Chains A and B, each alone.
Chain A
Amino acid sequence: MTDAAPSYLADQRRHKGLAGWIFSTDHKRIGVLYLWSILTFFSVGVLIGVVMRLKMLWPGEHLYSAAAYNAFFTVHGVIQIFLFIIPGIPAAFGNFILPLQIGAKDVAFPRLNLLSWWVYVVGAILALTALLSGNGPPDTGWSFYVPYSLRTNTNVTLAVFAAFILGFSSILTGLNFITTIHRMRCPGMSWFRMPLFTWSLYATAWIQILATPILAITLILVMAERILNLGLFDPARGGDPLLYQHLFWIYSHPAVYIMILPAMGVISEVIPTFCRKNIYGYKAIAFSSLAIAFVGYLVWAHHMFTSGMSDTARMVFSLLTFLVAIPSGVKVFNWIATMYKGSIKIEPPMLFAMTFLFLFSIGGLTGLLNGALATDINVHETYYVVGHFHYTMFGGTGMGFFAALLYWFPKMTGKMYNKRTIVVAWAHIFVGFNMLYFTMMIMGWMGMPRRYYSYPPEFHTYHVVATIGSWLLAIGVFMFLGAFIAALRKGQPATANPWESATLEWQTPSPPPTENFHDIPTVTGGPYEYKGGHPA
């Protein structure tokens, strides 16, 4: 191959046009396929969120029925969790960037990788079918708690089956990444020379493999109960509904680390690049990812403090919950220490990385109140939890996802977006976000329960502020996404290394050729070595 090797976008293989994408085993094309699919569902999820907030402008019955409201919050949750945040960063950016970062030509199992995208699409189609057919979309909340999920006539069985299928996609991606990282690192790429994004994907992949099967069996049980009437969760027949909650959270708590760890990996890439400095505490960040993956597996029952568990269990889970805050804190302090005395350049990716730090810290600190038994009892099932969750997941993972998009978009497409538009969009997002979710936390603190269709008049002002915030946030998000569409049409060409970053993915052209590197690179140093403001 010569220097003129065509980019992966131009390289014509066996299939042409759309087929050249949906049947491609190239990790970069699959990453882009995932990105498009995920952004589409994310936009739908945002719109449903806006519709939910719209109803909350006034108390009482108007706009649509309470049953529709139940369906909206369920569908919003199912889409944003199973179709956006969980696959989000690993499937889109992990697929594209991981092999580039370790100097590989592709992932270990390219066809399995394509299969995982197809499985994702099938899962998504089933999910949409569940929403639009039968007795209407599920109205159980995304957690499908029994006994209600077994009694409701809505399309729960199909929705649960869709989530089950999506789990397969997640598992396939996980085992592909682990094998890739173990087997396909280029010469010289030792474990402690791997970029931290790769480390975070490694930790995430382990959680995907170890936790997702528990979700699978939980969802199988819901389906089996609905179809075969096993009675395993029916107290009248000796069953225990609490066990459903245990099984559900054994997966779904580790799942929040599937969501957040890759975002933390993105931040660990962006911060050293824009501070022109080696990352502070490389090994501490790498190991804290593994520690989060491990301890995060053991904290699930903190979702069930009010469920009637024994006090011993509650105290143990509360303690473990506080322990998992330690590795998260280690990361935040290391990022800030990296910025200290760095020559910080606030480009769009850095702007969103700093937003991540700010919002995720609020999310993390407010989470401690949920981890403590005494306070959690009061705020459980209130808007406080909703606010906290969105600060960590949207303010954390969402901002990490945006930072990743801004950071790697020039690499993926060879185009640069309009930075000014991004800053304007950011201002909308930042103001709208805090108006919406901080107000929610205040309301929750005052006792506003979540998932309620109406509310007493004293909450009216707060709901109006939150709803206006949701408009600003949505405008910001769509302005942000629009900037990328505009860049695809008429963006300036991007250079191979527009951010002057030191990691491997920037040492190949933008967009990269199909085989990724002209020659397989040999690595001789750490991933974040800068000298005089340039990669060493």
Chain B
Amino acid sequence: MSTPTHTTHEYHPDSTGSKIAMWLFLFTELLLFGGMFLLYAVYRAKNPADFHYASLNLDTKVGAINTGILLTSSLTMVLAIGMLERRNRKASFWLLVITIAFGVWFLINKYIEWSHKIHHGIYPGSEELIGRTAGENLFYSLYFLMTGLHGIHVIAGLIVLGFMAWMVARPHQRSLPISALSAEARPNAVSVTVEYGVDPKLDEQKLIRLENAGLYWHLVDVIWIFLFPLFYLIS
């Protein structure tokens, strides 16, 4: 992105600013899920017994394994950031690959769990469910809706992490001093490189991006930590 031929106009090395924006974005994600937690709260308050009964049919073991997977993936994520900070790009890259592998494993478990339910005729609007109580219908609708939307967030997170791994694997761009630029690039260049002096071993820009990606991944983890007890552990 910020090759030295760009003007200051497109160069913003403000790490605090990026963090602020990322946290604001995470707020919006929390509120998005907040709307569904609101529905959950109301419907469970109205149908406590049905929710309890429906929850019995969910496989707590799979849920617990998935919780463990996501929590561990958060750990590897933090380690990946730490390794980039310590200028160990290789370790950072492999830790990201492990994080992605955990994410994929989570999705596979989710897939098996869902297909199991659907195989037994339990999905929104199914014949099987229509015959059961209203509370069970609501429980399963919320279950598929909330874990489904969470799953979409996991997929989005995996795409982001994939991009991060690619970014970390690439060698750092060494910024050139203005005197090294071609004649036509020089008038447009600004002395940001001199002012901010990019460390050839540590690209601040990459670190900020990785940290922000990490924040997002933790959010996905945190949301699951709420989903797990609300669906699996209430029976």
Contact = CB atoms under 8 A, between A and B. Distances in A.
Interface in A22-59: 25-26
Interface in B31-71: 31-36, 38-39, 42-43, 46-47
A73 B226 CA distance: 41
Interface residues of A, number: 44
B14 A239 contact: no
B137 interface: yes
B186 to A, nearest CB: 15
A182 to B, nearest CB: 6
Nearest to B38: A247
B124 interface: yes
A250 B24 CA distance: 19
A423 interface: no
A232 B25 contact: no
A289 interface: no
Nearest to B42: A243
Contacts of B31: 210, 213-214, 217
A178 interface: yes
Contact residues of A: prevailing secondary structure:
helix
Contact of A232 (B20, B46, B145): B145
A218 B133 CA distance: 25
A31 to B, nearest CB: 15
B17 A182 contact: yes
A171 B21 CA distance: 11
Interface stretch (B5-13, B80-88, B217-225): B5-13
Contact of B134 (A110, A111, A183, A237): A237
B194 interface: no
Given A210-B31, A243-B42, A514-B9, A183 B16 contact: yes
B32 A213 contact: yes
Greatest chain A CB density within 10 A among B9, B130, B135, B149 is at B9
A372 interface: no
Given A217-B36, A243-B39, A230 B17 contact: no
Interface string A340-366: 000000000000000000000000000
Interface stretch (A101-109, A119-127, A196-204): A101-109
A110 B9 contact: yes
A247 B34 CA distance: 10
Contact of A209 (B24, B38, B137, B141): B24
A238 interface: yes
Contact of A183 (B17, B125, B138, B144): B17
Contacts of A178: 20-21, 24
B203 interface: no
A210 to B, nearest CB: 6
A515 interface: yes
A112 B134 CA distance: 44
Contact of A214 (B8, B34, B142): B34
Contacts, number: 120
B115 interface: no
Nearest to B1: A111
A224 interface: yes
A217 B39 CA distance: 11
Interface string A209-242: 1101110111011001000111110000111100
A179 B21 contact: yes
Given A26-B9, A247-B35, A228 B125 contact: yes
Given A228-B124, A243-B42, A217 B35 contact: yes
Nearest to A26: B9
B27 interface: yes
Contact of B14 (A25, A26, A183, A237): A183
A237 B137 contact: yes
B173 interface: no
B28 interface: yes
Contacts of A240: 42-43, 46
Nearest to A178: B24
A110 B125 contact: no
B137 A108 contact: no
Nearest to A206: B24
Contact of A105 (B8, B39, B138): B8
A470 B14 CA distance: 50
Contacts of B133: 238
Contacts of B21: 108-109, 112, 175-176, 178-179
B14 to A, nearest CB: 6
Contacts of B134: 237-238
B27 A238 contact: no
B142 A232 contact: yes
B141 A175 contact: no
Given A26-B9, A108-B17, A228-B124, A175 B137 contact: no
Contacts of B14: 108, 183
Contacts of A214: 31-32, 34-35
Contacts of A112: 21
Contacts of B135: 238
Given A182-B17, A209-B24, A230-B141, A111 B39 contact: no
Given A108-B14, A232-B43, A238-B46, 11 more contacts: A25-B10, A109-B21, A110-B10, A175-B21, A179-B17, A182-B17, A213-B30, A213-B32, A214-B32, A231-B138, A237-B138
21 contacts: A26-B9, A106-B9, A108-B12, A109-B17, A110-B9, A175-B25, A176-B21, A178-B21, A179-B24, A183-B17, A210-B27, A213-B31, A214-B35, A217-B32, A217-B35, A218-B35, A221-B145, A228-B125, A232-B39, A232-B142, A247-B35
Interface of A: 25-26, 105-106, 108-112, 171, 174-176, 178-179, 182-184, 209-210, 212-214, 216-218, 220-221, 224, 228-232, 237-240, 243, 246-247, 250, 514-515
